[in-house]
Amino acid sequence: MLPPPGLSLSSFFHPLRKGIVKLGWSSLVGVMVCACFILGDLSSAALAVPSAEEVLEALAISDSDQAAIRKGEIVRWTTTEGSDRELAVGVALLVPGTPTNLASLFREAVTYKIVGSVTAYGEISGTGKVGDFAGVKLEPNGADEAKRYLDAEPGDTLNLDAKEIAAFQVLKTQDGAQPAVEALVRGKLLARYHAYRQSGLSGIPSYDRGDGETFQLGQDILLATNQSQVLEKFCEKFYQILLKYPAVDTTPIEDWFYWVNVEVFGRPTFILSHRMLFDHSGIFVTADRHFYASHEYNGLQSIAGTLPVKEGSLFLVLYRISTDGVAGFGSSMKHPVARGLMGPYMEEMFEGIRAKVQ
């Protein structure tokens, strides 16, 4: 059983208002790490060890980056992005040999510790119940955040669908006190959890952006999954789980669900996260999907893992984040700036891994 979520060496990034993006790899819910990119079918016949060159070519990494990775350098690369809202950044590291404590090293890299901006979290069990969300509170600055919910309207101040907006508007005409708002937030999170558990990506409620426009997070996460052609080719069973959950056999994995409250710009940001774990025959994969974020970004599906190769062990991380902060006018300029801000934090994590395995 993995420890509960909190802060890990991986990160949280969030678009600033006005379309500027600030990305940090240092302080977010460990739940955010990763949607499997580990290359290996779950059947024993497919576990033949490939060369690093085979894997890197399948990842469509440039020749110069491949050469640097084979030399043992930590290399950050940009992969194809599926839309102007998507940010995608990958990092790779090849280390010689196969460390005997590989699984524990990777578990440590995604261990969740409550520090920094995570103010609260909780595990959601089974079918979920209101009590699982008892720790959900509008902290910090609860009075201000309660007012935002009571004044809810279509837009990006809060990620809400039309029914949720209507419920908060009704509450404003009634009690309208912070405890009542918190109770409604808990019910909203539970309902979104139920929708995802029942119907997967297609069940994720939309975000009402106004003027008749809605944003469908499930479509962006589906796009992120379909962008992982290498995963589809070499890890078909896990790919199908990501694609079709819950209408698919999930036996090969362990999974957990969490809610997390992260302080962003003095505001509580509520996240619903689905974490998945695969650990078999030297292949370690931890997968995470944020299927709800209350503001600042839409959601994410990210990737991390390690694969035995003929030259040693290949560590890979790939983040795919959906954020309106890099979309629209000036998108082509915002994307490289945002990727540049993400990279150093990811590389710092890999420096830590390299130091431990050498």
Higher pLDDT, 123 or 306: 123
d(CA 279, CA 8): 19
Helices (H) and strands (E) in the chain, counts: 10, 12
The conformation of residue 147, written as its DSSP 8-state character, comes to H
The conformation of residue 308, written as its DSSP 8-state character, comes to E
Higher pLDDT, 108 or 155: 155
pLDDT in the model for residue 281: 62
Distance of CA 354 to the CA centre of its chain: 23
Q: Average pLDDT for residues 222-241, to the nearest whole number?
A: 81
Domain limits of the chain?
Answer: 12-133+216-357
d(CA 299, CA 316): 21
* CB-facing half-sphere around the CA of 309: CA atoms within 13 A: 23
In tens, the pLDDT along 145-186 reads: 999 999 999 999 999 999 999 999 999 999 889 999 999 999
| pLDDT band per the 50, 70, 90 thresholds, residue 15 | very low
Find the helix packing angle between 142-150 and 162-173, rounded to 10°: 110
Higher pLDDT, 7 or 66: 66
Integer Rg of the chain from CA:
20
d(CA 49, CA 309): 5
What would the two tokens of residue 326 be?
């890099």
Fold of 12-133+216-357: Alpha-D-Glucose-1,6-Bisphosphate; Chain A, domain 4 (3.30.530)
Q: Average pLDDT for residues 112-122, to the nearest whole number?
A: 69
Residue at 310: amino acid letter: K
Higher pLDDT, 189 or 339: 189
d(CA 55, CA 92): 11
| pLDDT band per the 50, 70, 90 thresholds, residue 231 | confident
- State the DSSP H helix or E strand holding residue 88, giving kind and residue range, or none if neither: strand 86-96
Burial class of 93 by CB neighbour count within 10 A (0 to 12, 13 to 18, 19+): buried
pTM of the model: 0.81
Of 35-39, 221-225, 250-254, 264-268, where does mean pLDDT reach its minimum?
Answer: 35-39
| pLDDT band per the 50, 70, 90 thresholds, residue 271 | very high
The conformation of residue 187, written as its DSSP 8-state character, comes to H
Q: Given a cut of 70, is residue 333 above it in pLDDT?
A: no
Q: Given a cut of 70, is residue 300 above it in pLDDT?
A: yes
CA neighbor of 228 nearest in space, from 242, 214, 215, 217:
242
Q: Are 227 and 320 in contact (CB under 8 A)?
A: yes
pLDDT in the model for residue 345: 54
Q: Which residues pair with 120 in a beta bridge?
A: 261
Q: Is 328 helix (H, G, I), strand (E, B) or coil?
A: coil
Q: Given a cut of 90, is residue 243 above it in pLDDT?
A: yes
Q: Given a cut of 80, is residue 304 above it in pLDDT?
A: no
Q: Given a cut of 60, is residue 334 above it in pLDDT?
A: no
Residue at 102: amino acid letter: L
pLDDT in the model for residue 5: 40
Q: Average pLDDT for residues 22-41, to the nearest whole number?
A: 32
Q: Are 21 and 15 in contact (CB under 8 A)?
A: yes
